[in-house]
Structure 1
Amino acid sequence: MTVYQRSEDSQRDLDLLDALGGLIARLLAEGERLAKDCEVPTFFIKALHLIDGPLAMKELGQRMHCDPSFVTSIADMMEKRGLAVRESDPADRRVKRLVLTSAGLDLKHKMEQAMLERSPWRQALTSEERATLISLIHKMAPPLSATDPADCPAEEVTNFLATAATPPVG
């Protein structure tokens, strides 16, 4: 029987791939649990996190790396739940902005606090180690906000998450 031999460097890279895969799986599972706990679709977590004031719907789509029609669906669902309202941009009335209501801000705060409490790096790493981890990740992949949406597969992930089980409204 022949055994396939890997170099130490190749084995380390495969171990890293396995570790990152496990971390991503854990993050997705935590996101799904958080969405279930908050009784919202999983993609609301990302949308609420990204809305940090009145935000043009087009800008939200760019930040989420998703199709404008999907952002419209998100806005519709958020409005239906009383989490956000659409308003015209005072500088250009053709532009619609999404603004979180007090209920939306409360949910955003609750979800962000829960994300922080559940994050594996906050539980396992010191502040200095987290800063190093951020630097290493950015060395390999720039933040999504710095990438061209056309070059980013995040739209596929976001659209996949949109098709995941969605709790019923209220």
Structure 2
Amino acid sequence: MTRRTAPDQVTVEVVELFGEVVARYHAEYDRAAAAQSLTGAAARVLSLLTLEPLPMRRIATRLKCEPSNITGIVDRLEARGLVERRADPGDRRVKLAAPTEEGLRVAAELRESLDFAREPLGALAPEERLVLRGLLRRMADA
């Protein structure tokens, strides 16, 4: 069994700061979603779909949840006219969820209302944001 060493104080502080930033982001994201009469999960699905239409299974993988949960969320988004299902051009047996024009509008309003996500980054110079992005990508890929 490998013995783990205690993290240094800087690592502990960085982890705590990450937790604080993530918690504040999620709280604001949930408030912004509620202003659009969406749950946080539904808003995340809609935002993800603005990048590209996706099958339910891939949405579930990206958001780290069960495909059956995604199906319910997509059903509710579809009932509101924010998402539509369409055949995958590469495999007509597969259905993709894709945002409608209204869904794109709601997702844009949601993004625009997220002040906290922009404010801390706005305090950084463009070069600092590039460094931060690179560091976060390295951490995510580790």
Normalising to structure 2: TM-score of the pair?
0.82
**Alpha-carbon shift at residue 125 of structure 1 (Å):** 1.5
Matched with 1:95 is 94
Q: Name the CA distance, whole Å, in 1 between partners of 2:63 and 2:111.
A: 17
Matched with 1:22 is 20
Q: Name the CA distance, whole Å, in 2 between partners of 1:136 and 1:57.
A: 30
Asked if the contact 1:121–1:130 (Cα under 8 Å) also holds between the matched residues in 2, the reply is no
Does 56-65 or 14-23 show the bigger shift?
56-65
- Aligned-residue sequence identity (percent) comes to 33
Q: Name the CA distance, whole Å, in 2 between partners of 1:92 and 1:11.
A: 52
Matched residue type, 1:88: A
Counterparts in 2 of 1:1-170, with a 5 A limit?
Answer: 10-51=8-49, 52-115=51-114, 117-119=115-117, 120-142=119-141
How many residues in Structure 1 have an aligned counterpart in Structure 2? 135
1:25-81 per-residue CA deviation (whole Å, 9 max, x = no partner) reads: 111111111112222000122212211343222222222222111110111110111
Normalising to structure 1: TM-score of the pair?
0.70
Q: Name the CA distance, whole Å, in 2 between partners of 1:122 and 1:136.
A: 14
- Structure 1 stretches lacking a partner, 5+ long: 1-8, 148-170
Q: Name the CA distance, whole Å, in 2 between partners of 1:139 and 1:87.
A: 35
Moved over 3 A (4+): none
Change (3 A) 1:13 1:53: closer
Q: Name the CA distance, whole Å, in 2 between partners of 1:39 and 1:103.
A: 14
Asked if the contact 1:84–1:99 (Cα under 8 Å) also holds between the matched residues in 2, the reply is yes
- Structure 2 stretches lacking a partner, 5+ long: 1-6
1:4-36 per-residue CA deviation (whole Å, 9 max, x = no partner) reads: xxxxx8222222222122111111111111112
**Alpha-carbon shift at residue 94 of structure 1 (Å):** 1.8
Q: Name the CA distance, whole Å, in 2 between partners of 1:92 and 1:55.
A: 12
The two structures, once aligned, show a CA RMSD in angstroms of 2.2
Asked if the contact 2:57–2:67 (Cα under 8 Å) also holds between the matched residues in 1, the reply is yes
Q: SS of 1:141's equivalent?
A: helix
Which structure carries more relative contact order (alpha carbon 8 Å, separation 6+)?
Answer: 1
